[in-house]
Amino acid sequence: MKFTNKCPKCGSSDVIADAKAIDRTRGGSGSIETELTVATFRKPDAVLFKGQQNTSLSAWVCAACGFVEFYADSPKTLKMATA
C-alpha cells in the first residue's frame, strides 16, 4: 500500500499516506496522546536493561473501505536488536 498507493482489499487508489498512529490514554490530568510504537528486546529475560529498541509507526489508510496498514518508521532499528 505504501509503495503501490493502492488498497489491497478494495483496489481503490484513494489512499491517505503517512498518517500518525496515536494512542490515547486517560491520565490524571486529562488524556495523554502518545505515538504508537513497536519494540524488540535484546535481552527479554533481563529484569533491568532489556535492551529495548523501538520505532514509531505510520499508517496508510484507505479512504474508500477504511483498511489500515501499519509501517515501522525505522524498521532497521528493530532488526539490529536481534543481531
> Contact residues for Zn ion (CB under 5 A)?
7, 9-10, 12, 62, 64-65, 67
Q: How far is the CB of 71 from Zn ion (least distance, A)?
A: 16
DSSP 2: T
The CA-based dihedral angle spanning residues 48, 27, 18, 51, taken in that order and rounded to the nearest 10 degrees: 0
Which of 6, 42 has the CB closer to Zn ion? 6
Q: How far is the CB of 56 from Zn ion (least distance, A)?
A: 24
DSSP for 9-61, written as a single string = TT----EEEEEE-EEEEEETTEEEEEE-EEEEESSTT-SS---EEEEEEEEEE
Q: How far is the CB of 42 from Zn ion (least distance, A)?
A: 37
